[in-house]
Chain A
């Protein structure tokens, strides 16, 4: 799938997120691109026991996005997977907006920041790059899910620390990079208006991003001793390893499909 500029809807979603995290002022300074990562079918076939989150490989989609619904690749894919999905034979208008029958299909858009503004979309279409710039998160179901690189922007630009965060001690820091959750007693300080089930940035004592997590409690309940109060969702250790493995598999998979 080719990289492209934001649609109006995506721009609104991202502006809202940048604003919520207190870095709205940098939105205009960044060149932001998106790329469709996967299509998720919302209806699954009970007989074949296919999960509703099964994905179509990117390269297959990219064929579809370049033209109309009669792409050979997508036909081949549909033939191979006949019966698995009910709504896969839909067409897309230039890979951006789903057609009428595609409303049941949910897409995940990867969001990238690139520092060079002089290249146009047309060049990216021609080059078909693997990656442009830095991935900062994903948009799914009209919601932006920040990644660790987005958190880096937040920490760098929101100097007042006016965002949900917890600062943890060194012992916890070393555990979190291996994917462990956070005990209340490991938290040195926290954002006072933290809410239950809210995404938080996990910082070490140097106020550096170590991970992202989800709060189980609100306010000062977050520091209750001897229980897990923050679930770690991403961290700088396993995040990169998972990312590396996933990318490796996905690239090989895509190349296999191209052949």
Chain B
């Protein structure tokens, strides 16, 4: 595919997209796009519209405890934990009265326990093969204090983090205690950084970049809470990382994006973003992925992810990398639905099918995109 991409792609709406945008409170350009590339788009809109469908996950910090021990302690406190495809990640069915404060987006998800009950999940979840959970809902028990205010949380025994984010780190192929040097290009608030640290068992080194000084505090807080000792935090523009003349075994680029995938947690994003934002994000992501790939060692791995559905922030970014680096190779991932091989008039590389997408109504996670890129050896 040529690199001369029209970004963003504007798709013409119709009566149906107008109706849906009015019904669910989105901008129409978003809906007209969703109808083109999201599987069962109306089911997703319906699913996202209902906050009862929100799922909460916690990742056990194995630097401080182990999954069995934490599960036992939280069970004793009345929390209902369900296993997921990742052994250190649990879905929490009753995150607590008052809900979870999502500080970084400034949102409070305030709900009572019974609201978490996911009665209509089966009705909208298709197909079963893609369901990442190992079990279904049970009775949710009594009201609990928020899962973000327990002693175990303050002690850093777990991190409240979406399953899809955990999968991104899982795909970095970090074996326990290996002496790898990892770059996290947009680190705050530290969910993935602390996950990498536990994968490395506090060995190796993580260079965590965060440009936004307001977000640095949350990163430092979480690193300290989770007892992470192998991180070097840099307040720099990730696009300029190559100026430091460092090389990395692994690069994680959880790129700043329009966050379409977390509309369920932040309804303001139905209307707060416009096509200019999409273009701005896309342009920055292109610069970031090139910089990240430049500092990758031969045979090293780069994971690119966003919490957006937009192909301009996902497949098109990967295509941009492939067009500019012949030594970049897409590798298959273990979870999620296949990435798009075409969008509008554009045809992507055949291997784009190996990138993966996550949808709330299918995977019970945030909307998410992950691509795994290996730099071919010299």
Which residues of A are at the interface with B, using a C-beta cutoff of 8 A? 113-116, 118-119, 124, 126-135, 149, 152, 173-174, 177, 204, 208-210, 236-237, 240, 243-245, 247-248, 251-252, 255
Q: How far is the CB of A157 from chain B (nearest CB, A)?
A: 14
Q: How far is the CA of A18 from the CA of B22 in the complex (A)?
A: 65
CB pair A116–B221 under 8 Å, yes or no, is no
B residues whose Cβ falls under 8 Å from a Cβ of A: 151, 154-155, 202-205, 213-214, 216-218, 220-221, 223-225, 227-235, 244
> Do A248 and B234 touch (CB < 8 A)?
no
Q: Across the two chains, which residue of chain B brings its CB closest to A112? A: B229
Contacts of B228 in A (CB 8 A): 134
Known contacts being A236-B155, A240-B225, A243-B224, is A130 close to B217, with CB within 8 Å? no
CB-CB under 8 A for A251 and B154, given A115-B230, A133-B229, A134-B227: no
Q: Which residues of B contact A173 (CB under 8 A)?
A: 151
Cα-based distance from A132 to B224 in the complex (angstroms): 11
* Given A149-B224, A177-B154, A247-B221, A113-B229 contact (CB < 8 Å): yes
Contact of B234 among A114, A130, A255 (CB under 8 A): A130
- Which applies to chain A's interface (DSSP): helix, strand, loop or mixed? mixed
Which residues does chain A contribute within 8 Å of B217, judged by CB atoms? Answer: 244-245, 247-248, 251
Q: Are A126 and B154 in contact (CB under 8 A)?
A: no
Please name the residue on chain B nearest to A243 by beta carbon: B221
- The A/B interface has a contact count, at CB < 8 Å, of 89
Once the chains bind, are B151 and A133 in contact (CB under 8 Å)?
no
Selected contact of B151 from candidates A152, A204, A240, CB within 8 Å: A204
Q: Is the CB of A115 within 8 A of B229?
A: yes
**Which chain B residues border A240 with CB–CB below 8 Å?**
154, 221, 224-225
Q: Is the CB of B216 within 8 A of A251?
A: yes
Whether the Cβ atoms of B218 and A244 lie closer than 8 Å is: yes
Residue of B nearest to A124 (CB): B232
**Interface contact B155-A247, CB-CB below 8 Å:** no
Q: Is the CB of A208 within 8 A of B221?
A: no
Complex CA gap A115/B229 in Å reads 6
- CB <8 Å contact, A130 and B220: yes
Question: Do A130 and B216 form a contact, CB below 8 Å, given A114-B230, A177-B154, A236-B154?
Answer: yes
Q: What distance in Å separates the Cβ of B236 from its nearest Cβ neighbour in chain A? A: 8
Query: Taking the nearest CB of chain A, how far is it from the CB of B211, in angstroms?
Result: 11
Whether A114 contacts B229 by the Cβ 8 Å rule is: yes
The docked-state distance in angstroms from the alpha carbon of A109 to that of B217 is: 20
